[in-house]
Amino acid sequence: MLFSKLASAFEEVEKRSGRLEMTDLLAGIYRESEATEARKITYLIQGILAPPYEGIDLGMGERFAVQAISSAAGYAVKKVDEDYKKLGDLGLVAESLLGEKRQQSLSAQEMSASYVYDSMLRISKSAGAGSQDMKIKLLAEMLNNSTPQEGKFIVRFVTGQLRLGVGDATILDALSFTAAGDKSLREGLERAYNLCSDLGHVASSFLESPESVLEFRVELFKPIRPALAERLSTPEDIFEKLGKCAIENKFDGFRMQVHKKGKNVEIYSRKLEKITFMYPDVVEAARAIKAGEMIFEGEALAFNEKKNRFYSFQETMHRRRKYGIAESAKEYPLYVYAFDILYLNGEDYTQRSYSERRKALEKVFPSGLFRVSEKKIAESSADIEKAFAHSLEQGLEGIMAKDLGAPYVAGARKFAWIKLKKSYGKSVDTIDVVVVGYYLGRGQRAEFEFGGLLGAVYNPESGKLETVAKIGSGYSEEEMRNFEEMLSEIKTPEPPADLEWKIKPDFWVKPKYVVEVAFDDITLSPTHTCGMKRDKGYALRFPRMMRMRADKDEKESTTTQEVIEMYQLMKEKK
């Protein structure tokens, strides 16, 4: 497929707000794609070069793109910078200047989507002496061959600004429409994606043979998309939903998925990034486990031996680092509480009940630094209440209630697991929001040049971010300084392309950071776009910053549907 056709589709997608329209456009692309190129086309739509666990980063900042545009279009770097300040989008700058080239390339040729993808991959793999010049040269070559429209999307891709607002769910729908003309094949596609976490692989397999997605199996070293928990606000609600159930402590650490085959061990974060090198102590402990092959999940917490207590979440997060790993491991030794097993010695456990998985888990653990999360069986709401109180007495943040007969629901938020957390002050609960903008400090905060955040939640159905709160309190002076420093580095003149907004901050930022926010209530709002219908969205009342969530990305923030469900729960309680 010619890249020009893909770029034209991207242009049309940007103009559409309805998911069905986007689905039709993408289905049209897949119908014209060969199965062999579908993987690369899917990655281009997602704005990535590979699934997160492969760790392939393009490694090209805005300065490289500016120089490549200058070289390809024949304008001085100063001119490119000036246009960028005016337009706030390097993609639009490339489109404008390539349309008014001062020099025409005699060797310009049409590019296929595969050629563009392969060129991007070459850029990502360029390393060592002279690699910066090579990256600029490769990008300039693509821009030389580009139409203005193609150049716009190529530059947006390499600078991480493609953000079409197309969620994974829309791509899965489009694949189903390609073969069946409706969503009837969506369930099988989604299951395949949840098991391999590689949408490009799913697309190419599906276009080769639609039946193939039903044959996907759990594979070692291909992380499974983590199961997610629903939330309810009282033990009574939980027991009414689940009946007799298992209760486990909810730890305030960071989640990891461990894959082991003999002495070969890999660790993946909840974002499905490979983080093995950060945790040599966990790797050694996993190698010592008697089971030959396994995949299990656990919650890692740093333990203070002197005070005989767990460190806070923020202190535990000191273990997530690229440098000083040995020193950090010594200062913050970890315990990993294993809470689920997904694969054991050649057998897929994801389809087995919680009770079966738990028995298998208890046969393997405890082992070394791995412990087993405490489990109790609740036969009444009073049992749930007692377990919850016991959890809080231990300094933990709450409990997880689990359906005894449910399989492991990969990649989904269903009532197989339900969380009940302690409240913060008056807050019923907390949510995780993506930072999309920030405000200047005023009055007593003027010296910090930081006065609060604009937070958004993720709508997986539309692939969009939707604003839900202006967060003006809960910051220490040190946090205000840190936020100003961090956010000033990712400021953008224009709002994120995939953000639905009505309220405008002093500065927009790239959606990169996730924070946990406490609140008193959820109300209807004409200024926030979360779940907006008939000019009314949902907003947090009296939101306050609790902490950074470095272990989460924007797609793991609280969803629009969760906010709506919380609003309904709070309304019922009132």
252 and 312 co-located in one domain: yes
409 has a pLDDT exceeding 80: yes
pLDDT given for residue 252 in this prediction: 83
Tokens at residue 129, please?
């002496």
User: Is 201 part of any domain?
Assistant: no
**pLDDT average, residue stretch 523-534:** 93
Last residue of a domain, one of 421, 453, 482: 421
Lowest mean pLDDT among 238-247, 319-328, 427-436, 512-521: 319-328
User: Is 202 part of any domain?
Assistant: no
**Predicted confidence band of residue 408 (pLDDT cuts 50, 70, 90):** very high
389 and 247 co-located in one domain: yes
User: Is 214 part of any domain?
Assistant: no
Lowest mean pLDDT among 237-251, 272-286, 559-573: 559-573
Last residue of a domain, one of 96, 130, 158: 158
30 and 129 co-located in one domain: yes
Composition of the chain by helix, strand, coil, percent to 5 = 40, 25, 35
pLDDT given for residue 362 in this prediction: 95
Tokens at residue 237, please?
């609600």
Residue 570 makes CB contacts below 8 A (sequence gap 6+) with 233, 428, 521, 522
400 and 516 co-located in one domain: no
Tokens at residue 96, please?
């404008």
**pLDDT average, residue stretch 416-424:** 79
User: Is 211 part of any domain?
Assistant: no
Question: Which residue reads 């596609």 in tokens?
Answer: 189
pLDDT given for residue 108 in this prediction: 63
**Predicted confidence band of residue 105 (pLDDT cuts 50, 70, 90):** low
**Predicted confidence band of residue 399 (pLDDT cuts 50, 70, 90):** very high
129 has a pLDDT exceeding 80: yes
User: Is 191 part of any domain?
Assistant: no
416 and 434 co-located in one domain: no
User: Is 320 part of any domain?
Assistant: yes
pLDDT given for residue 148 in this prediction: 94
More confident residue, 458 or 316: 458
User: Is 515 part of any domain?
Assistant: yes
Residue 471 belongs to a domain with what CATH number?
2.40.50.140
Q: Which of the 8 DSSP states describes residue 533?
A: E
380 and 444 co-located in one domain: no
Report the SS3 class of residue 506. coil
- Average pLDDT of the chain is 89
**pLDDT average, residue stretch 206-221:** 93
106 and 233 co-located in one domain: no
Measured CA to CA in angstroms, residue 23 lies from 9, 20, 293 at distances of: 11, 5, 39
Per-residue pLDDT tens for 273-331? 999 999 999 999 999 999 999 999 999 988 877 777 777 777 777 777 777 888 877 87
Measured CA to CA in angstroms, residue 306 lies from 243, 303, 328, 331, 333 at distances of: 41, 9, 16, 11, 12
pLDDT given for residue 427 in this prediction: 45
Lowest mean pLDDT among 14-23, 355-364, 537-546: 14-23
CA 500 centroid distance within chain: 18
User: Is 196 part of any domain?
Assistant: no
More confident residue, 534 or 404: 404
Rounded distance between C-alpha atoms, residue 420 and residue 5, angstroms: 49
pLDDT given for residue 574 in this prediction: 64
Number of domains in the chain: 3
Respond yes or no: is residue 250 known to be catalytic: yes
More confident residue, 42 or 473: 42
**pLDDT average, residue stretch 345-374:** 94
Residue 339 belongs to a domain with what CATH number?
3.30.470.30
Beta bridge partners of 419: 231, 400
399 and 491 co-located in one domain: no
**pLDDT average, residue stretch 440-456:** 80
Tokens at residue 430, please?
């907390």
**pLDDT average, residue stretch 338-346:** 96
Cis peptide, bond prior to residue 366, ω within 30 of zero: yes
Rounded distance between C-alpha atoms, residue 363 and residue 370, angstroms: 13
12 and 45 co-located in one domain: yes
**Predicted confidence band of residue 424 (pLDDT cuts 50, 70, 90):** very low
Question: Which residue reads 């709508």 in tokens?
Answer: 459
Beta bridge partners of 310: 303
Residue 474 makes CB contacts below 8 A (sequence gap 6+) with 517, 518, 544, 545, 546
474 and 389 co-located in one domain: no
**pLDDT average, residue stretch 444-459:** 83
Last residue of a domain, one of 158, 188, 220: 158
Q: 152, 250, 421, 552: which is the annotated catalytic residue?
A: 250
102 has a pLDDT exceeding 70: no
Residue numbers of the domain that contains 462: 430-573
